[in-house]
Structure 1
Amino acid sequence: MTRARLVHTVIGHTRLEPVRHAFTYRSYSWLVDLDDLPVLPWLLRPFAGFEARDHLGDPATTMRGNVESYLAAAGIDLGGGRILMLANARVLGYVFNPLTVFWCHDPAGRLRCVIAEVHNTYGGRHRYLIPPERCAEVAKEFYVSPFNPVSGRYRLRLPVPDERLHLNVSLENPDGRTIFGATVTGRVVPAHTSALVRALFAHPLETWRITARIRRQGLRLWLRGLPIVPRTTDSPQEALR
């Protein structure tokens, strides 16, 4: 069926300021090679779709072509090296990816860079180019949560997964205090038909539920009195098509 893999994940969010709020939930994601996307039995295809329009770039080309174009603009040429993507797939025509990670390698298999692509629930998306370091920092440039301004820095640990996935993202305000953290951990398994069917039964309509969870947690914070930060229009982003 496919050489792709599934990742059974545990996702945790912790807000430290101005109110403390934390939650975790279980989910699953796909870990795929952009040159070897899954070819599923026809009955399962509506539950695992991968399309260029779901990510930044030209929807008429391939996901790999869009990643290469983005890297070329930054002066990076992978020379045909492998690109691994961690993402959610379309389920019954819908997908939402709070965070998609691309691990970009050269032909010898060395990690050249990492791309963190962030989507918000307002129809925007933005990419951060991350150097291949154990812990990297980038300035926050994109409006995500309505309770955080577009300021401060992200500290990211995004190692290439093997049998386990361990991602960590924290947000520091301009004073250097950590105000928010997110972790994604999980077990990586082959995406056999039986494994996918079990994931679909354990997490039905998961991409729809991800959006619902985000809105529910936002409502809880608003009811606790956390002020909303107005959206700005000058931060770099691309509207969904």
Structure 2
Amino acid sequence: MTAPALYRTRIRHVRRTPVRHAFGYRGLSWFVDLDDLPRLPVWLRPFARFDGRDHFTGTTSLRAGLDAVLTGAGLDPTGRVTALLAPRAFGYVFNPLSLYWCHDDDGTVRCVVAEVHNTYGGRHPYVLFPDADGRAETDKVFYVSPFNPVEGRYTLRVPEPGERLAVSVTLHRAGHRPFVASVHGRRTPATATRVAGAVLRFPLAPQLVAARIRVQGVALWLRGLPVVPRPTTPSPSLEASR
């Protein structure tokens, strides 16, 4: 089992075209073992609760939801899974990107599931097979931003975090890179004292993340960036991305 840990993160978004726009903010992510989720003291549970309803189909446990994704991609769902995600706080959760590292029996990372959430309540899992440097590619098939069409290809760097966290997502389209997002952070043990300190420093963390993203969206709209309507058809069925 992997002991739960916290990452105080620095998140940065850079939009290069058709309008240049960049912003960054600080956040908080948890690194957990999906089969041994943190058991917090009662007084801390309102600030950090992991709930299967917030991921995948939202109809079962977090681990069962992931196993269904792996099975749907033709993969054996057994094995240890570590995850980087944000918990529910005071009944609200927002995970723009949740990552799951699926291991073989010898501890080797077999694949990574990148679960993308948008601000409309939608979510989509990409099954990735990163190389030794944690790099993988996949086609964009899920509507995320109202200013980006569902086209192009992602390059992701998703090495399993250790003492430091370094994740990035780059969108490629027609010979250029219109969007890049990155998350960096340093690991700290998720003891009750550390969690309490993080809560004091980042109160209502998921609410703040969602609010910041919406504020930046309004700023782009005021600058004249055209809105791309949401697709009327659902995302295509899941396929593993090698």
TM-score bracket, shorter-length normalisation: over 0.9
Cα distance in 2 between the residues matched to 1:146 and 1:55: 22
How far is 1:233 from its partner? 1.8
Segments of structure 2 that go 5 or more residues without pairing to the other structure are: 238-242
1:57 CA drift (Å)? 2.7
**Residue 213 of structure 1 aligns to which amino acid in structure 2?**
R
What is the distance in 1 between the residues matched to 2:86 and 2:109?
A: 22
Give the structure 2 partner of residue 231 of structure 1. 230
Runs of 4+ in 1 over 4 A off after TM superposition: none
Partner SS, residue 201 of structure 1:
helix
User: 1:106-121, aligned counterparts within 5 Å?
Assistant: 106-121=104-119
The code of the aligned residue for 1:183 comes to S
Residue type at the aligned position of 1:184: V
SS class of match (2:22): strand
| 1:27 counterpart residue number | 27
- Is residue 124–residue 237 contact of structure 1 (8 Å, CA) maintained in 2? no
Measure, in 1, the Cα distance between the counterparts of 2:39 and 2:136.
Answer: 35
Question: How many Å separate the matches in 1 of 2:7 and 2:92?
Answer: 19
Partner of 2:129: 131
Q: Contact conserved, 2:162 with 2:187, CA < 8 A, in 1?
A: yes
Matched, 1:99 2:97: yes
The separation in 1 between residues aligned to 2:227 and 2:8, in whole angstroms, is 33
Greater shift after overlay, 133-142 or 215-224? 133-142
Other-structure match for 2:69? 70
- Asked if structure 2 preserves the Cα contact closer than 8 Å seen for 1:105 and 1:111, the reply is yes
Per-residue displacement from partner, 1:21-53 (whole Å, max 9, x unpaired)?
A: 001111111100001100010000111100110
Gaps of 5+ in 1: none
Deviations, residues 199-218 of structure 1 (Å, cap 9, x unaligned):
11111111111110010000
Of 33-42 and 126-135, more deviation after overlay is shown by 126-135
Partner of 1:210: 209
Tell me if 1:45 matches 2:40.
Answer: no
Aligned to 2:240: none
Stretch of structure 1 that moved more, 125-134 or 182-191: 125-134
Match of 2:80 among 76, 79, 82: 82
Given that 2:128 and 2:138 are in contact with CA atoms closer than 8 Å, whether structure 1 keeps it comes out as yes
Q: Which amino acid aligns with 2:224?
A: G
Tell me, in whole angstroms, the C-alpha distance in 2 between the residues paired with 1:76 and 1:95. Answer: 28
The residue number in structure 2 matching 1:142 is 142
Contact (CA 8 Å) 1:115, 1:127: kept in 2 or not?
yes
Alignment partner of 1:207: what SS?
helix
Aligned residue in 2 for 1:10:
10
Identity %: 53
Q: Could you tell me the TM-score, scaled by structure 1's length?
A: 0.94
Q: What SS does the corresponding residue of 2:35 show, helix, strand or coil? A: coil
> SS of the counterpart of 2:42?
coil
1:163 aligns with 2:163: yes
Tell me, in whole angstroms, the C-alpha distance in 2 between the residues paired with 1:224 and 1:82.
46
